[in-house]
Amino acid sequence: AQTVTQSQPEMSVQEAETVTLSCTYDTSESDYYLFWYKQPPSRQMILVIRQEAYKQQNATENRFSVNFQKAAKSFSLKISDSQLGDAAMYFCAYRSRANAGGTSYGKLTFGQGTILTVHP
């Protein structure tokens, strides 16, 4: 079974600064997807960025970028030029790419989350 670990329960950053959120995972699979989701107080889970394990290039989405280290099973999220609206709970998540006999191939495995506070 896959596991996802976020070792930082809370992080804080000053507005306009850069912050990095950490995530490690454990899997025996070679092909999978990794995600960062944002959950603001409104509770709506929003996809921030996605990385496909077979792609060596790190994904970027505007101010958000990842550092994907497949051998180390590490997947960190960097938020540049932090804004007040970035304040939320951030979750790292894993999903297998393989269709394991037709079961659970859409299943997301989440980490425990990191609360990000942005100070003005």
Partner 1 sequence: DAGVTQSPTHLIKTRGQHVTLRCSPISGHKSVSWYQQVLGQGPQFIFQYYEKEERGRGNFPDRFSARQFPNYSSELNVNALLLGDSALYLCASSLQGASYNEQFFGPGTRLTVL
Positions in the binding site for partner 1 (CB under 8 A): 4, 33, 42-47, 50, 91, 93, 95-99, 102-113
Min separation Cβ 96 and partner 1, Å: 6
Min separation Cβ 74 and partner 1, Å: 18
What is the SS3 string spanning 5-38?
Answer: ECCCCEEEEECCCCEEECCEEECCCCCEEEEEEE
Min separation Cβ 18 and partner 1, Å: 24
**44 or 62: whose CB is closer to partner 1?**
44
**50 or 70: whose CB is closer to partner 1?**
50
**43 or 62: whose CB is closer to partner 1?**
43
**42 or 120: whose CB is closer to partner 1?**
42
Instruction: Annotate 80-112 with b (16+ C-beta within 10 A) or e (fewer).
Output: eebeeebbbbbbbbbbbeeeeeeeeeeeebebe
Min separation Cβ 14 and partner 1, Å: 25
Strand 114-119 relative to strand 10-14: parallel, antiparallel, unpaired?
A: parallel
